[in-house]
């Protein structure tokens, strides 16, 4: 029996037809797929056609975590970048760690077959600046993730670029705590308005912020689902919370809102009954929505409330 | 069942099948003939359709020429049919994208594929050509496993891929082919190489 056949053209990886190479490389672990991109052009093309296999990516100031992998850590050593993964070190000469890290991030993010469920950016401002730089330089748009979670300083201008480049259905935005002690509240309020304007109306919006006397609550009326986590040193007044509730009840689209904040429940009930003239029954207010045969139910608890919309 | 005991038989090795089931005769491109059971053939969508279309009776199988498989040599085809016989009757995996593809290589398959790379690549090609989904899965997985823990340079050695210098020729050829997308990919690849030795991935 013949060992080989001239009629069968394939006997090496080099001659492997693209669809078969895709089949093979698709069987690799995600980290191996990424490493294979650097083997040769053929592998590079093939891996680009495949789902990278990640559904969660968390970006930190000096590292990236991809689901299924250990944390990949980056740092500078002299003029070089040192990357640590799974107990091994790789030195990338004459490179800044942040350039390498964000380049690696976008290698994955720009893959058209990526089905990302969660992108979490929990990093310092310079990382956002680098992301901004890469997005602008490469004119990146339509990067998709189901959940986008950002913890940062809202006043950082690079955020606008990031919001424009990413598509998402759920947004969780957290203002970092150390800035609460020294905020320029007016600027923070303005930045928050700008950000809310950039968030599409269909997005489920989850926001963690310090209390602002000028909280632009009216900007939230375009959302169907809102979660607000407000932090403050002292209790907010019944009027503060009552005004938020009254404003939210004017929304045409709101289906559900959860808000947590420090307040005295009795103060809020007093405001809503005496000044807003709403009817209360055991900490629950039911407000009919005019002409819609629907109602909002406001259920008050200590330090949190829920608004739900229901119909007949 | 060991690989050696798998019931695929070359015609000249055992002319009469033991079981009285429907068998088909196939011939490789180097004129090796095999008898394969009807149930085993069902693992191959291509062959299954072919024999259904032919509508052979048991007498036809004996009296008519063996069905020629032009693109596969005898050594590869023997492995293919051994695999099909061993896995006959098993459900054929359906890839609807709903579940992650996790491929385990059974012991029998691992022994069957304990072969040199050239033959393994031919086996992949044959599995693809004959549309044998699970054989394609395990054979691709076997090749993929070779990449575990390797650097790009090591992978080039494992897979006998050309060096960067040799690859330059391929790059020029691709550009000469004037395929805009090919050129785009070349440039992107080059750009990433330039940017850095600058990337961990």
Answer yes or no: do B196 and A100 touch at CB < 8 A: yes
* pLDDT number for residue A188: 79
Contact list, A3 vs chain B (CB under 8 Å): 75
How many structural domains is chain A composed of?
Answer: 1
Q: Which domain holds residue A25?
A: 14-50
Does residue A295 lie in a domain region? Answer: no
- Of the candidates B30, B152, B195, the beta carbon closest to that of A103 is on B195
Residues from chain A contacting residue B128 (CB–CB below 8 Å): 19-20, 23
Q: Which range is least confidently modeled, A73-82, A91-100, B15-24?
A: B15-24
CB contact under 8 A, B140 and A103: no
Dihedral, A233, A235, A240, A246 alpha carbons, nearest 10? 120
- Residue B1: pLDDT band (50, 70, 90) is very low
For residue range A78-135, what is the model confidence (pLDDT) as tens digits? 999 999 988 889 898 899 999 999 988 998 898 888 899 999 999 888 898 899 898 9
| Residues contacting A251, CB < 8 A, separation 6+ | A220, A221
Give buried/exposed letters for A119-131 (b at 16+ CB in 10 A, else e).
bbbbbeeebbbbb
Q: What are the residue boundaries of the structural domains of chain B, listed by start?
A: 9-91+99-145, 170-201
Instruction: Give a yes or no: residue A22 inside a domain.
Output: yes
The reply to whether A191 falls in a domain is no
Please name the member of B118, B136, B196 whose beta carbon is closest to the beta carbon of A92: B196
Report strand pairing: B67-68 vs B23-27: parallel
Kindly state whether residue A287 falls inside one of the protein's structural domains. no
Q: Measured between beta carbons, which residues in chain A are less than 8 angstroms from residue B172?
A: none
Place domain B9-91+99-145 in its CATH homologous superfamily.
Potassium Channel Kv1.1; Chain A (3.30.710.10)
Are A102 and A60 spatial neighbours (Cβ–Cβ below 8 Å)? no
pLDDT recorded at residue B162: 77
Picking from B30, B148, B189, the nearest residue to A32 by CB comes out as B148
Which chain A residues have a beta carbon less than 8 Å from that of B159? Answer: 12-14, 39
């Amino acid at each position: 029996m013949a060992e080989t056949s001239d009629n069968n053209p394939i006997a090496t990886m080099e001659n492997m037809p693209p669809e078969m190479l895709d089949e093979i490389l698709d069987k690799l672990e995600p980290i191996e797929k990424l490493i294979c991109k650097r083997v040769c052009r053929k592998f590079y093309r093939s891996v680009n056609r495949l789902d990278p296999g990640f559904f969660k990516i968390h970006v930190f100031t000096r590292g990236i975590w991809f689901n299924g992998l250990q944390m990949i850590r980056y740092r500078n050593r002299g003029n070089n970048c040192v990357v640590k993964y799974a107990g091994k070190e790789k030195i990338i000469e004459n490179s800044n760690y942040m350039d390498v890290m964000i380049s690696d991030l976008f290698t994955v993010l720009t893959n058209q077959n990526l089905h990302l469920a969660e992108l979490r950016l929990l990093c310092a401002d310079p990382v956002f600046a680098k992301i901004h730089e890469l997005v602008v330089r490469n004119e990146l748009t339509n990067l998709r993730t189901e959940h986008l979670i950002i913890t940062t300083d809202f006043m950082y201008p690079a955020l606008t670029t990031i919001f424009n480049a990413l598509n998402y259905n759920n947004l969780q935005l957290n203002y970092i705590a150390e800035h609460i002690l020294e905020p320029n509240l007016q600027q923070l309020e303005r930045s928050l308005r700008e950000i809310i304007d950039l968030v599409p109306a269909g997005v489920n919006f989850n926001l963690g912020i310090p209390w602002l006397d000028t909280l632009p609550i009216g900007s939230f009326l375009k959302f169907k689902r809102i979660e607000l986590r407000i932090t403050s040193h002292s209790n907010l007044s019944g009027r503060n919370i009552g005004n938020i509730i009254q404003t939210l009840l004017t929304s045409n689209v709101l289906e559900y809102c959860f808000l947590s904040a420090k307040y005295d429940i009795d103060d809020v009930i007093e405001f809503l009954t005496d000044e807003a003239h709403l009817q209360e029954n055991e900490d629950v207010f039911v407000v009919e929505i005019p002409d819609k045969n629907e109602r909002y139910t406001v259920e008050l608890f200590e330090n949190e409330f829920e608004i739900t919309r229901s119909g007949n | 069942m060991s690989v050696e005991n798998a019931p695929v038989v070359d015609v000249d090795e055992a002319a009469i099948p033991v079981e009285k089931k429907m068998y088909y005769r196939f011939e490789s491109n180097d004129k090796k003939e095999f008898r394969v059971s009807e149930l085993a053939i069902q693992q191959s969508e291509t062959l299954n359709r072919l024999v259904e279309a032919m509508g052979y009776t048991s007498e036809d199988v004996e009296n008519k020429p063996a069905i020629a498989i032009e693109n596969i040599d005898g050594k590869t085809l023997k492995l293919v049919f051994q695999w099909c016989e061993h896995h006959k009757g098993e459900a054929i995996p359906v890839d609807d994208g709903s579940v992650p593809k996790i491929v385990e290589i059974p012991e029998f398959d691992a022994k069957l594929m304990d072969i040199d790379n050239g033959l393994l690549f031919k086996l992949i090609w044959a599995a693809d050509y004959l549309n044998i989904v699970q054989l394609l899965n395990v054979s691709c997985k076997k090749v993929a496993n070779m990449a575990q823990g390797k650097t790009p340079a090591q992978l080039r050695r494992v897979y006998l891929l050309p060096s960067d210098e040799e690859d330059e020729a391929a790059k020029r050829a691709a550009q000469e082919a004037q395929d805009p997308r090919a050129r785009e990919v070349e440039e992107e690849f080059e750009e990433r190489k330039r940017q850095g030795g600058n990337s961990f991935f």
